[in-house]
Structure 1
Amino acid sequence: MRWPAHPRWLAAVRWRRRCRTAATALLALTLTAALASCAGGDDRDGSTLRVWLVEANIPQVAEGYDALVADFERRHPDVDVELTQVPYQQYRDKLVLAVQGGAGPDVMALDQIWSPEFAAAKLIEPLDRRTQRAGVREKDYFPAAWASNRWQGRIYGLPFNVGAWQRMFYNADLFREAGLDPDEPPRTWREWKRAAERIDKLPAHSGISLIGCRDEASSVLTDSFLYSAGGHLTRDGRADFDTPANRRAYGFFQRLAEHTPNGVAGACAEDTMAHFTAGETGMLLDGGWQSGSIGEQVSFDWRVTTPPSPTGRDFTGAMGGYNLAVGSEAPDKRLAFSFARLATASVPHQLATNDSVPALRKAGERFVREHRERPEQVLRLLETAEPRPVSPVYVRISRAQQGALQSILSGEDIGGALAEAERSMQQAIDRP
């Protein structure tokens, strides 16, 4: 989620395709524009299927990848799968270079926020007809995960894994010390503010850890505040950020930030986690996947629950995760789709190839019940979460959102900060 991107490099890829027969290559990649290489032709005959996935974090997932490949090759004896695993931190950059050089994969994992960008540049195939013929159904996946693949009314990928931002972790020992009942965590924003105030009064402690740095994580975090208040960032393809609901959400975030450790505007996810696991803060907002890490690091009594929401509304999280897409230059798109379908529509493969929640609902429900605290809460979050704005200029929209948060945390007028960010978002949409 943290790599810079700009649709101009996608236009450059299309230009490279028109000069594919040239003998030499020229490649210049910058943050805002790129000229792509005039590379030699791709001589693949379809007997090799090239698949790119994010590198497995644990041996069990690596074994799951191997089993998936073996199963596909068993079903297609004349096909060899060439699986490439790329570390998360390097994945996007390597993928961009591969596509520009004419060596892009046939099947690729895409962060949800990249899918519309690749679709708009025609680098991935629309899959509507194939999903219909194969009986792949929207209702079999968590709603926001499926929606993240929809661009201009068409589907451009299949959901692979998901995560709903976020869960609230809290220090039950500090709750007791502050006179709060750890069995009754705050449910409304008003109760949340009061709990943070109580913990903040304890010597050498702060009420809550919040991500406030200029980073994608702060966008996802504040998305959940906006969505829970009934707000959004875009509507019908237009920027719609300076709204009463969003002003309310950012106003509350600003007040809650009064009870964080000093330097909230520079606090990233690793900082907030460190404060919480050190026992310095009473509450933390982060992804549910952090449960295992917290359990390994702390000795105090900790709990996890759904974050509070405005009175009369339910908490709504922001969806993250990866999709599997078919490259538009894949020699055999039918075969590539078959691999993506096997990886995303099979319960055993979904469970074996993910250490986060599988996007297939049946597999995801089983995974959550086996690996997450308070599974029913997590499943509800996954059913009600909303995707981040589905836009080919998402990165620029997110940067404008991050800038607004920086202004608000520095004490600037909320309405002015949101209005300025909305103008930047609309400029990005109008001039990609």
Structure 2
Amino acid sequence: MKTKVMLAVLLVMLFVVPVTFAQEPVTITFWHTYNEVSAENQMLTETLIPAFEAAHPEINVESVAYPYDGFRQALLTSAAGGEGPDLVRLDIIWSPEFAAQGILLNLSENMSDFQTFADAVFPGPLSTNAYDGAYYGLPLDTNTRVFIYNPAVMPEAPETIDDLAAMCESLPEGSFLFSDGGTSGWNMLPWIWSFGGDITDPDITTSTGYVNGEQSVAAIQFLTDMVQSGCFSDGYIGSGLDTWGGYFGGTISSMLEGPWFYPTLEQQYPDFEAAAALMPAGDGGHISVVGGENIVVMASSQQQAAALEFLRFTQSDEYQLQMSTVGQLTVLSSLLENEYFTDHPYYGVFLDQLQTAKARTPHPAYNEIETVLSDAAQLALRGEMSAQEAMDLAAEEIDALLAGS
């Protein structure tokens, strides 16, 4: 009888008293292209993700490293199947393309504090996340190219492009004043922008009057004159000249390079003296090109709230400072005043350049636009067309791409 009573009591308690169970943490996946054995990946997986998980015990972060080659296609394939990661470290030139396909979460609409984070980053890197009036990511890391020169043959940096051109007169025989390795946007845009030109109008609706406008044509003409005169190297037009080899060998006086230049300098050429300055200015100012990656949330993510929380963490001083120590330059303008950067031997000039650096045209067809620009510049630099003719041809082809033809 007592046993029956006890069973009855237990049954009553089971229905009356709520039973609670510990909620299992959700897991979000973060795809990126850090090499698995790199310092960046070690910082992410051994320091930063554990710090985030300690502060957010309800969220686990799974880090998945991919090789860069094939990464874009892997993302597109996974998105087409409704699968894939929650977050991605995405090359900035892919962001508009992915946004146009509906693959990325619109942060402008789905992140209530988005503007607070947007206001904290450099405008150039932020602009690479824009598409059709909205933002689909935030900058994660950034870089830009600055003017690297050899003070043994160039005692001071040229303030302007005219100052640089004047140095051709005293160029030692058998050497080049400047060199670069092609005519992609990465190579050509710092000159076009610094001359005051551009590829399209601000709304990215037309190229006519911009890529073939007076300032853009002047930039291409300048480079053509410099290459054909022998003042600048013919690396622009595919000679195969090794710019870094020539620089360290003393036959190339200057080049544009990113912050990755310095670790090579320190490791392989510790006794070589190098100096850095802003891109020489033209009518448009000291303008260089933005590189780097964005962090985005996939529209297919089933854990968007948790993914957004990790995205916020990547914008923190803690995350940005730690990743800067392994070569991932910060996107936060407020950190310009941090002693790590004010005392840093070379980051300062890159951060100064980032204040005016611009992003390559944020458009889904950018890869095709860049090919058109590169081909047109080749025609001019090789002397096969005048700069105006080549840029007129480019304007016509880019307009067709912008129209979706």
User: Scaled by the length of structure 2, what TM-score is found?
Assistant: 0.84
Question: How do residues 253-292 of structure 1 correspond to structure 2 at under 5 angstroms?
Answer: 253-257=223-227, 258-266=230-238, 271-292=242-263
Deviations 1:26-81 (A, max 9, x none): xxxxxxxxxxxxxxxxxxx9932111122148754223212332233334434332
Kept in 1, the 8 Å contact 2:91–2:294? The answer is yes
Q: Distance in 2 between matches of 1:253 and 1:404?
A: 13
Q: Distance in 2 between matches of 1:205 and 1:160?
A: 39
Matched, 1:420 2:390: no
Match of 2:312 among 332, 341, 347: 341
Kept in 1, the 8 Å contact 2:221–2:387? The answer is yes
Kept in 2, the 8 Å contact 1:113–1:390? The answer is yes
Kept in 1, the 8 Å contact 2:190–2:279? The answer is no
Q: Distance in 2 between matches of 1:286 and 1:135?
A: 32
Q: Distance in 1 between matches of 2:212 and 2:356?
A: 23
Kept in 1, the 8 Å contact 2:177–2:253? The answer is yes
Question: How do residues 36-47 of structure 1 correspond to structure 2 at under 5 angstroms?
Answer: 47=26
Q: Secondary structure at the match of 1:205?
A: coil
Matched, 1:209 2:188: no
Kept in 2, the 8 Å contact 1:231–1:243? The answer is yes
Q: Distance in 1 between matches of 2:248 and 2:36?
A: 22
How far has the Cα of 1:255 moved from its partner?
1.9
Kept in 2, the 8 Å contact 1:288–1:372? The answer is no
Deviations 1:231-283 (A, max 9, x none): 11111222231100101111111122232344530157x82222212222111
Q: Could you say if the C-alpha distance between residues 249 and 261 of structure 1 is closer, same or farther in structure 2, counting changes exceeding 3 Å?
A: closer
Moved more, 317-326 or 62-71: 62-71
Q: Give the structure 1 partner of residue 218 of structure 2.
A: 248
Q: Distance in 1 between matches of 2:33 and 2:367?
A: 20
Q: Distance in 2 between matches of 1:396 and 1:197?
A: 38
Q: Which entry has the higher C-alpha Rg, 1 or 2?
A: 2
Q: Give the structure 1 partner of residue 3 of structure 2.
A: none
Q: Secondary structure at the match of 1:82?
A: strand
Q: Give the structure 2 partner of residue 351 of structure 1.
A: 321
Q: Distance in 2 between matches of 1:84 and 1:353?
A: 17
How far has the Cα of 1:365 moved from its partner?
5.4
Q: Secondary structure at the match of 1:387?
A: coil
Q: Distance in 1 between matches of 2:267 and 2:380?
A: 35
Question: How do residues 294-309 of structure 1 correspond to structure 2 at under 5 angstroms?
Answer: 294-298=265-269, 299-309=271-281
Q: Could you say if the C-alpha distance between residues 46 and 128 of structure 1 is closer, same or farther in structure 2, counting changes exceeding 3 Å?
A: farther
Q: Could you say if the C-alpha distance between residues 97 and 397 of structure 1 is closer, same or farther in structure 2, counting changes exceeding 3 Å?
A: same
How far has the Cα of 1:159 moved from its partner?
0.9
Q: Could you say if the C-alpha distance between residues 234 and 107 of structure 1 is closer, same or farther in structure 2, counting changes exceeding 3 Å?
A: same
Q: Distance in 1 between matches of 2:189 and 2:103?
A: 28
How far has the Cα of 1:92 moved from its partner?
2.3
Match of 2:190 among 195, 209, 224: 224
Q: Give the structure 1 partner of residue 4 of structure 2.
A: none
Q: Could you say if the C-alpha distance between residues 368 and 274 of structure 1 is closer, same or farther in structure 2, counting changes exceeding 3 Å?
A: farther
Q: Give the structure 2 partner of residue 148 of structure 1.
A: 128
Q: Give the structure 2 partner of residue 390 of structure 1.
A: 362
Deviations 1:271-322 (A, max 9, x none): 2222212222111122243123234333443221122122x55211121111
Matched, 1:324 2:295: yes
Aligned-residue CA RMSD (Å): 2.5
Deviations 1:368-410 (A, max 9, x none): 43545272x4332111111111111111111111111111111
Matched, 1:116 2:80: no
Q: Give the structure 2 partner of residue 96 of structure 1.
A: 76
Q: Give the structure 2 partner of residue 39 of structure 1.
A: none
Which residues of structure 1 form unaligned runs of 5+? 1-44, 176-181
Kept in 1, the 8 Å contact 2:148–2:254? The answer is yes
Kept in 2, the 8 Å contact 1:64–1:353? The answer is yes
Q: Distance in 2 between matches of 1:364 and 1:314?
A: 21
Kept in 1, the 8 Å contact 2:159–2:281? The answer is yes
Q: Distance in 2 between matches of 1:372 and 1:265?
A: 34
How far has the Cα of 1:418 moved from its partner?
0.5
Which residues of structure 2 form unaligned runs of 5+? 1-23
Q: Could you say if the C-alpha distance between residues 69 and 152 of structure 1 is closer, same or farther in structure 2, counting changes exceeding 3 Å?
A: same
Q: Give the structure 2 partner of residue 174 of structure 1.
A: 153
Q: Distance in 1 between matches of 2:95 and 2:60?
A: 26
Q: Give the structure 2 partner of residue 86 of structure 1.
A: 66
How far has the Cα of 1:225 moved from its partner?
0.9
How far has the Cα of 1:131 moved from its partner?
3.7
User: Scaled by the length of structure 1, what TM-score is found?
Assistant: 0.79
Q: Distance in 2 between matches of 1:353 and 1:90?
A: 25
Structure number with higher strand proportion: 1
Q: Could you say if the C-alpha distance between residues 79 and 306 of structure 1 is closer, same or farther in structure 2, counting changes exceeding 3 Å?
A: closer
Q: Could you say if the C-alpha distance between residues 100 and 82 of structure 1 is closer, same or farther in structure 2, counting changes exceeding 3 Å?
A: same
Kept in 2, the 8 Å contact 1:123–1:327? The answer is yes
Kept in 1, the 8 Å contact 2:129–2:136? The answer is yes
How far has the Cα of 1:230 moved from its partner?
1.3
Matched, 1:136 2:106: no
How far has the Cα of 1:135 moved from its partner?
6.4
Question: How do residues 398-417 of structure 1 correspond to structure 2 at under 5 angstroms?
Answer: 398-411=370-383, 412-417=385-390
How far has the Cα of 1:188 moved from its partner?
1.9
Q: Secondary structure at the match of 2:286?
A: coil
Question: How do residues 26-41 of structure 1 correspond to structure 2 at under 5 angstroms?
Answer: none
Q: Secondary structure at the match of 1:353?
A: helix
Q: Secondary structure at the match of 2:168?
A: helix
Q: Could you say if the C-alpha distance between residues 369 and 90 of structure 1 is closer, same or farther in structure 2, counting changes exceeding 3 Å?
A: farther
Kept in 1, the 8 Å contact 2:106–2:135? The answer is yes
Moved more, 86-95 or 380-389: 86-95
How far has the Cα of 1:134 moved from its partner?
6.2
